[in-house]
Amino acid sequence: MPASLTDTRSAELYRRALELLPGGVNSPVRAMRAIGRDPIFIERGAGADIFDVDGNRYVDYVCSWGPLIHGHAHPEVLDAIVRAAARGTSFGAPTAGEIDLAAELARRVESVDMVRMTSSGTEATMTALRLARAATGRERIVKFAGAYHGHVDGLLAQAGSGLATQSLPSSPGVPASATEATTVLPWNDAEALLAATADGEPIAAIVAEPTPANMGLVPAEQGFLELVRQRAEATGALLILDEVISGFRVARGGAQELSGVAADLTVMGKVIGGGLPAGAVGGKAELMRMLAPAGEVYQAGTLSGNPLAVAAGLASLALLDDGAYLRLAAYTEDLAAGLREAAGQTSGHPVQVVSLPGLVTVFFSETPVRDLAGAQACDHRAYASWCRGLLSRGVYAPPSQYEAWFPSLAHTSEQLEVTLSAAAAAFAELT
């Protein structure tokens, strides 16, 4: 598909959307401005393919930014949603499914005894911060540059995801008072972490993505997560691990299973909703019982634990057995290795390919990326050109250097061949 078409159905829809939606989209990265083109409007998805309103087909590596670990329209997930919808879409009252989902999350994540459901990861993060402040009687939050924990006022400082794409250090409309109690540190910088937690300043929580994927995928260096855990304990702060992306994607028990570093509070989302809006915060019972109505820390949500999202999440998680994770890891590694080979053979641009099971990033960088500054130093123009080249050859990659690719269990060996052929051709045409 050419980089600029003015007579397509997508172009027509975008012109109309610009009159009705800010920027023509309901989430900034969808606008594709970071890769220098207008957005593509999607009509449907099947497996690992999506189809736009003009009839073009793409191998999809966005997968709704992570929830669709089984691909689009998986029959068992769809069946669960249809059966739930037939009973009623929302009640504003407890349902058995909420208990079942909470039990499944607790079985998978060792640090979780109890769960509070929300409708988004942002809401779950807000709840975790409020709970940490109530539990410690402190206000200060420590976060890491390049991490994105939802559009919470106090955490929109040097955030990743769409905010990094737009090169905004914070957002207009966020009062100074909201960020006064936030300390931002470089990711993977042990010295900065030690300095920030050594002066005795009371800290309510250290919040981190254990496998950051909102500045591209930038894993923790050896020993860094362990140091984060140690500094939380030393200062009496709670450790909040944001597993909205990594939870139930990189392993059965999320990144905590891979790293062996346990959270005091875990923020969850994406996969747990099976493609429908859902989030959750979980932790040990003594902390979670501080939430109303068991305790005095208030949180509520009209659609929290929505029956359709719960049904989709349970169906999605039921399909994620050990064999599924082995298959996802194998496909991810084949994809990453193939992208490295394609870049080495055909690209005059230095490229770093980083991967974990279910996550990949292609950085246009001479050196490995270890923090937000490294991600910002990448050749964004080359990535944009390469991404447009992929789109023109039927591969839908994240339209931003700062976003991770999301391989799914629906991707096939044939789609891998299509992807790597397109990648090699797109590398070769870079100037």
Where, residue-wise, is CATH 3.40.640.10 in the chain? 75-318
Selecting among 38, 49, 189, 242, the annotated active-site residue is: 242
Structural tokens at position 225? 């997560």
pLDDT value for 163: 42
Confirm whether 148 is a catalytic residue. yes
Where, residue-wise, is CATH 3.90.1150.10 in the chain? 9-61+321-428
Confirm whether 143 is a catalytic residue. no
Selecting among 148, 331, 396, 402, the annotated active-site residue is: 148
Homologous superfamily (CATH) for 9-61+321-428: Aspartate Aminotransferase, domain 1 (3.90.1150.10)
> Where are the extended beta strands (E) located within 80-235?
114-118, 141-144, 182-185, 205-208
The predicted-structure confidence for 223-260, as pLDDT tens digits, reads as follows: 999 999 999 999 999 999 999 999 999 999 999 999 99
Structural tokens at position 299? 């949180």
pLDDT value for 397: 98
The predicted-structure confidence for 9-23, as pLDDT tens digits, reads as follows: 999 999 999 999 999
CA distance 307 to 323: 28
Stretches in the chain below the pLDDT threshold 50:
1-4, 160-169
pTM for the structure as a whole: 0.93
> CATH number of the domain at 75-318, please?
3.40.640.10
**Look-up: residue for tokens 């999506």?**
50
Q: Phi/psi of residue 9, each to 5°? A: -65, -40
The answer for residues whose C-beta is within 8 angstroms of residue 307's C-beta and 6 or more apart is 84, 87, 88, 89, 90, 91, 95, 97
Residue pair 59/34 in contact by the 8 Å Cβ criterion: no
Please give the single-letter amino acid code of residue 186.
P
Selecting among 14, 49, 143, 270, the annotated active-site residue is: 270
Confirm whether 270 is a catalytic residue. yes
pLDDT value for 328: 98
